[in-house]
């Protein structure tokens, strides 16, 4: 398949590389002028779209997505599938679908979970929204770039699933970090704490797979000085998107709102550029009232 790929950053580059390794012809564009082995780079976003059977975008936010789609949909081949893997607000995702549809294109919003490691290993999870026809055309590419894909529903459903999932993740990681910080101050051995929680009612992904305490549980960013697998500012972005969506539909999310506030405070006070699990040492440096 001939594939255009726009947005070749930390996530997009390894995703495109995996498509090349699978034998696809990939043409790319990125405003930073990066290069990816096996990807033919072009001078503009529309140049990466013309003649392509599929176009994948991986962009920073909804405003940029809208702008890029404004440039590229008119260059798309009728019947091509446009796959947006960015994490953006639901409204922007639906607008991108509308723009693609008006240009005679198929479209899928397909944000991902799995981070940079999952992008490199081809083990991402895709949460897809769009028509059955569009999803079926995109599915073989999801199979190359990831290990799991769920067709969540119509336009915007992929983004809705992503922000709901990551709201759970943000809330649960804060709870785990609070509990380990409290356990430390109560004199409880971290390994013993992990042994209990990981096999009890407190078990969750934030403990069992991604434990924020170094040297405990499977290897995670905490064992690498909290160098980000998933940066705290990206968690803040997703939590902010979840609260924007909650506001739009009048959904009560008190824990999600508080999680967004805490990650905002963390990012502005040493958390930027650190893994989102680095909230544990941040809590350790705080007292009951600060």
Which of 269, 274, 244, 272 lies closest to 256 in space, CA to CA? Answer: 244
In whole angstroms, give the CA distance from residue 158 to residue 109.
Answer: 6
Return the DSSP state at 167: H
Torsion of Cα atoms, 198 then 199 then 204 then 207, to 10° = 0
Which single residue is written with the structure tokens 């934030």? 206
Q: Which of 78, 148, 162, 185 is catalytic?
A: 162
CB burial class (10 A; 0-12, 13-18, 19+) of residue 41?
Answer: middle
CA 227 to chain centre: 17
CA distance 77 to 64: 22
Length of the chain: 290
92 vs 118: CA distance, rounded Å: 25
Instruction: Read off the tokens for 92.
Output: 């922007």
Establish whether 185 is a catalytic residue: no
Would you call 134 helix, strand, or coil by DSSP? Answer: helix
CA 109 to chain centroid:
12
Q: What positions carry a catalytic annotation?
A: 162
């Amino acid at each position: 398949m001939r594939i255009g790929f726009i947005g070749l950053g930390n996530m997009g580059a390894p995703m495109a590389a995996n498509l090349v390794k699978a034998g696809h012809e990939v043409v790319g564009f990125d405003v930073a002028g990066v290069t990816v082995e096996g990807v033919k780079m072009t001078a503009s976003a529309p140049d990466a779209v013309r003649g392509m059977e599929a176009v994948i975008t991986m962009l920073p936010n909804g405003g940029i997505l809208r702008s890029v789609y404004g440039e590229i949909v008119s260059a798309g081949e009728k019947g091509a599938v446009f796959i947006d893997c960015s994490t953006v607000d639901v409204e922007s995702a639906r607008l991108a679908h509308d723009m693609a549809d008006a240009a005679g294109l198929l479209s899928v919003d397909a944000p991902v979970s799995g981070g940079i490691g999952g992008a490199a290993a081809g083990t991402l999870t895709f949460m897809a929204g769009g028509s059955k026809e569009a999803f079926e055309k995109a599915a073989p590419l999801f199979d190359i770039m990831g290990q799991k894909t769920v067709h969540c529903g119509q336009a915007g459903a992929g983004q809705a699933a992503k922000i709901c999932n990551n709201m759970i993740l943000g809330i649960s990681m804060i709870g785990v970090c609070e509990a380990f910080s409290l356990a430390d101050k109560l004199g409880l051995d971290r390994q013993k704490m992990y042994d209990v929680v990981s096999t009890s009612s407190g078990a969750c992904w934030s403990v069992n797979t991604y434990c924020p305490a170094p040297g405990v549980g499977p290897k995670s960013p905490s064992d690498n000085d909290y160098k980000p697998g998933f940066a705290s500012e990206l968690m803040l972005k997703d939590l902010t998107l979840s609260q924007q969506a909650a506001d739009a539909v009048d959904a009560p999310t008190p824990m999600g709102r508080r999680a967004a506030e805490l990650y905002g405070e963390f990012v502005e006070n040493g958390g930027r550029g650190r893994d989102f699990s680095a909230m544990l040492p941040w809590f350790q440096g705080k007292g009951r009232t600060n």
